[in-house]
Amino acid sequence: MTILQIVEIVVGVAMIVFGILAINTKKLINSVIFLSVISMLAVVSFMLMRAPDVAITEAVIGSGLVTAIFVFTLYTTKKAGEKI
């Protein structure tokens, strides 16, 4: 088992853990943040699989932009005085 394979497994398991967290967490913003973490971990796994194009795209679009619009949605719909 090479070090890369161990990294692969760690990344993969971490994604699943964060996935479950994202689904089961109470606060929506946490959910979104966990999603963003998963996305970042996905970028890592894409890099491990020699897919730089996909990694860049996922980083910019999947992780960055999607998280941004999630956060904006939550921000624009929060009730007055509420923290998101």
27: DSSP letter: S
Q: How far is the CB of 3 from another protein (least distance, A)?
A: 13
Between CA 83 and CA 20 the distance in angstroms is: 23
Between CA 84 and CA 71 the distance in angstroms is: 9
Q: How far is the CB of 74 from another protein (least distance, A)?
A: 7
Binding test (CB under 8 A) with another protein, winner from 3, 50, 80, 82: 50
- Name the token pair of 25: 């967490």
Between CA 33 and CA 3 the distance in angstroms is: 28
Identity of the residue, 3 or 72, whose beta carbon is nearer to another protein in the bound complex: 72
* Residues of this chain that bind another protein (CB under 8 A): 5, 8-9, 11-13, 15-16, 19-20, 22-23, 28, 31-32, 34-35, 38-39, 42, 45-46, 48-62, 64-66, 68-70, 72-77
